[in-house]
Chains A and B, each alone.
Chain A
Amino acid sequence: MRCAALRRRAAVALVVVAGAVGCMSSSETVTLVTAILPGELPAYRAVVGEFEHATGTRVMVIPQQYADVRRAIAAETAAGQGTIDLAELDVYSLAAAASDVVVLDASSLRVILDVLDPAAVRAGTIDGLRFLPHRVSWQAMIYDHAILGAPPATWDQLVAVARAHPGKIGFKGALYEGLTCDVLPFVWSAGGDGVRFDDAGARAAFGLFHELAPYVNQESATFKEGAIVEAMARGELVLHLNWPFAMSWYATQGLAPDRIRSAPLPRGPAGRATVLGGGYLGIPRHAPHPARARALLEYLLSREAQTRLGRELGWFSARRDVPVGQGGDLLAGFVAMRDAVHPRPERPDYVRRSRAWQRAFRAVVFDGGDPEKTLHDAARDAGDRG
């Protein structure tokens, strides 16, 4: 009987303590959902740990893919309640997720906004300032230095490399946004605006694609970022376009920077161009701790945090007072492209246009379509023509 009484008291005490800890945790915890890789988590946690130490607020970092983050905050909006305090989204999906996050008070963020790249801030401004750049990214050319020696610097040199190495030029040719990221830089570097399918830039770019088509690796039709990185590691490609993560991966495999290196994209008739990517932070509509989320947001965009993320994770910052490319020679090609970064067209029909670019590229490169006719059909698909 005495034992039973003791057990009852221990159980009650346990429940009280658990409840107290639970309540304490929920009032001092901020949930941050971000698309970081498993290998990046320890370093990221250490950066976030500085904020925890300074404010006494515990930060729960949840790695998720961008698509899952978008679905989660959309679900919380529909449900009218949520658990996510701060969410990171791909720059491509900001417009679609704009209604699921709150508008930030730009006047109180002036100190940060003044040091951010204006193009990066513009990408996060949709009916008001809703997202701020957690990290920015852009593509560069990744080439096999052991085979090519020097990377092609112009479109003519690119065609020459393709002819010398048939089947070894790769594009991220699957039907997804990554293909648009491979197409638009060539359109822009030929003077196109990335919106119209019939301007001189688009025609020049697709003329180039038509010329490259016989030499493109046919498996490119299904390549995405991961598959193309692996194809190059296996020696099936000598050249492709990709994001900085690829160089980090090659370095872990011992392939970079000795064999595989980064370089600026080849110069077109109007110069060089690359597409802006990256992750942006927003506070969901039903964030349980919006004030703490705002504090965490300001910390993550501070000079100290951004410098550390750049140094330890090789991330690029939108802050103009944080040096880009602290990863040494590995990211030299990316650093050289900084001034040639373009955001994707900020239009409500961007998704439709993006799909039209993707289909046009595939029609020309994989189906042998005529560039002029293909672009005409793309304009019609995008609603430019009757």
Chain B
Amino acid sequence: MERRRDPSSALLAGPLVLFLVFLLGYPMLWAVRLAFTDTLTGAVPSIENYRALWGDRLFWQATAGNLVIPLISVALELVAGVGLALLLAARMPARRLVRALVVVPFALPEIVFLAIARSILTPRGYANGVLAALGLGPIAFLVPGRATTYLTVIVVDAWHTTPVVFLIVLGALAAIPKQIHEAAELDGARGWRHLVYVTLPLLRPALIAAVLVRGLDAFRIFAAPLVLAGVEGAPVLSTYAYHQWSDYGDDGAAAATSVVLALLCVVVSVPLLGRRAARADLA
């Protein structure tokens, strides 16, 4: 027997559809139109904005940065998040307090966290003060264009968002039945082998979810490189787009950069989402 559709369901979905169309769809289409509008002449369609990006060395630096920084940052977060979750999943004194402390960096407003990090890492900041007290030379954590600057941005960003991975993995660990661990140990899987052949495979769905959530978010990275090192220090596509809009008043170039970033996110996320959908179908 066919299930009849309730007409009122369409009505109930109406506000959401309107919201998506007017606050998401329309601005997106306008941004794409702006990306293909010549800022100087107003001609549409025009690829002048993309031609300008193609010839801009800072754009290519930003593109490279937008690939490297999220990749390493998410890898760091996965390792640190899984490690912390495994450590804090075990029974230990003050476990709840330690778990709460681990989440503090993410609980702070991002701009507050980054302002604190910057004050620690500037040339005359606390970090170099400690190094000087130990008789060591200063480290150029935030000097623009250097590898140490990129590394600093990666570590600070990972530090801020590792709690997200930690919480996802911690929840997944708690969901693994104890009997599986006991059975594995009876079969001789202990320590490292237990982790690699039992725990991690069971954590795989949670890890993929963490990679999806953090991965897409990491591609949109903006505040960390901007606050810590400035547009020129460790450029990424979002800060480059902001620079075009804010410093040059070039809305077209900013929109073109945003389109490139959006395409990058789609290219990265579609394979991951496709695999998850395939697994869901099989299930």
Chain A contact residues, CB within 8 Å of chain B: 67, 70, 93, 96, 173-177, 218-219, 221-222, 234, 236, 351, 355, 359, 362, 366-367, 381
Chain B contact residues: over half helix, strand or loop, or mixed?
loop
Q: Mark B83-103, 1 if CB is under 8 A from A, else 0.
A: 000000000000000000000
Distance A248 CA – B84 CA, assembled complex (angstroms): 51
Distance A248 CA – B142 CA, assembled complex (angstroms): 29
**Count of chain B residues near A, Cβ 8 A:** 20
Q: Please give, as numbers and ranges, the residues of chain A lying within 8 Å of B123 by CB-CB distance.
A: 219, 236
8 further A-B contacts with Cβ under 8 Å, apart from A176-B247, A219-B143, are: A67-B246, A173-B232, A175-B232, A175-B243, A218-B144, A221-B145, A355-B248, A367-B145
Chain B contact residues, CB within 8 Å of chain A: 55, 57-58, 123-124, 140, 142-145, 229-233, 243, 246-249
Q: Looking at the complex, which one of A70, A234, A359 makes contact with B124 (CB distance below 8 Å)?
A: A234
Measured CB to CB, the nearest residue on chain B to A367 is B145
Cβ of B231 and Cβ of A174 under 8 Å apart? yes
Distance A222 CA – B55 CA, assembled complex (angstroms): 22
Cβ of B249 and Cβ of A222 under 8 Å apart? no
Distance A234 CA – B140 CA, assembled complex (angstroms): 17
Distance A381 CA – B248 CA, assembled complex (angstroms): 16
Q: Looking at the complex, which one of B55, B124, B144 makes contact with A221 (CB distance below 8 Å)?
A: B144
Chain A contact residues: over half helix, strand or loop, or mixed?
helix
Distance A174 CA – B176 CA, assembled complex (angstroms): 52
Distance A221 CA – B58 CA, assembled complex (angstroms): 13
Distance A315 CA – B248 CA, assembled complex (angstroms): 26
* B122 CB to nearest chain A CB (Å): 8
Cβ of A222 and Cβ of B144 under 8 Å apart? yes
* A50 CB to nearest chain B CB (Å): 34
Measured CB to CB, the nearest residue on chain A to B235 is A175
A222 in contact with B243 given A67-B249, A355-B248, A366-B144 (CB within 8 Å):
no
Can you list 16 residue pairs at the A/B interface with Cβ under 8 Å?
A93-B249, A96-B249, A174-B232, A174-B247, A175-B247, A176-B247, A218-B140, A218-B143, A219-B123, A219-B144, A221-B144, A221-B230, A222-B229, A222-B231, A234-B124, A367-B145
Distance A175 CA – B58 CA, assembled complex (angstroms): 10
Cβ of B230 and Cβ of A174 under 8 Å apart? yes
Distance A307 CA – B55 CA, assembled complex (angstroms): 48
Measured CB to CB, the nearest residue on chain A to B230 is A222
Q: Please give, as numbers and ranges, the residues of chain B lying within 8 Å of A173 by CB-CB distance.
A: 232
Instruction: Name which of A70, A174, A222, A234 has the most chain B CB atoms within 10 A of its CB.
Output: A222
Distance A176 CA – B143 CA, assembled complex (angstroms): 18
Distance A218 CA – B55 CA, assembled complex (angstroms): 25
Distance A175 CA – B232 CA, assembled complex (angstroms): 7
Q: Looking at the complex, which one of B124, B246, B248 makes contact with A236 (CB distance below 8 Å)?
A: B124
* A223 CB to nearest chain B CB (Å): 8
Instruction: Name which of B124, B143, B230, B243 has the most chain A CB atoms within 10 A of its CB.
Output: B230
* A236 CB to nearest chain B CB (Å): 7
Q: Please give, as numbers and ranges, the residues of chain A lying within 8 Å of B58 by CB-CB distance.
A: 175
Distance A359 CA – B246 CA, assembled complex (angstroms): 17
The 9 A-B pairs at the shortest CB distance, nearest first, are namely A222-B230, A221-B144, A176-B247, A218-B143, A221-B232, A222-B233, A222-B144, A222-B232, A175-B232
Distance A359 CA – B248 CA, assembled complex (angstroms): 13
* A371 CB to nearest chain B CB (Å): 18
Distance A367 CA – B57 CA, assembled complex (angstroms): 13
Measured CB to CB, the nearest residue on chain A to B140 is A218
Distance A69 CA – B243 CA, assembled complex (angstroms): 18
Q: Please give, as numbers and ranges, the residues of chain B lying within 8 Å of A93 by CB-CB distance.
A: 249
Distance A3 CA – B234 CA, assembled complex (angstroms): 69
Distance A93 CA – B249 CA, assembled complex (angstroms): 9
Measured CB to CB, the nearest residue on chain A to B246 is A67
* A364 CB to nearest chain B CB (Å): 14
* A218 CB to nearest chain B CB (Å): 5
Distance A222 CA – B145 CA, assembled complex (angstroms): 10
* A27 CB to nearest chain B CB (Å): 34
Q: Please give, as numbers and ranges, the residues of chain B lying within 8 Å of A367 by CB-CB distance.
A: 145
Q: Please give, as numbers and ranges, the residues of chain B lying within 8 Å of A174 by CB-CB distance.
A: 230-232, 247
* B187 CB to nearest chain A CB (Å): 57
Q: Please give, as numbers and ranges, the residues of chain A lying within 8 Å of B143 by CB-CB distance.
A: 218-219, 221
Distance A355 CA – B229 CA, assembled complex (angstroms): 21
Distance A29 CA – B123 CA, assembled complex (angstroms): 51
Q: Please give, as numbers and ranges, the residues of chain A lying within 8 Å of B145 by CB-CB distance.
A: 221, 366-367
Measured CB to CB, the nearest residue on chain A to B240 is A175
* B223 CB to nearest chain A CB (Å): 15
Distance A300 CA – B86 CA, assembled complex (angstroms): 69
Measured CB to CB, the nearest residue on chain A to B57 is A359
Distance A176 CA – B244 CA, assembled complex (angstroms): 9
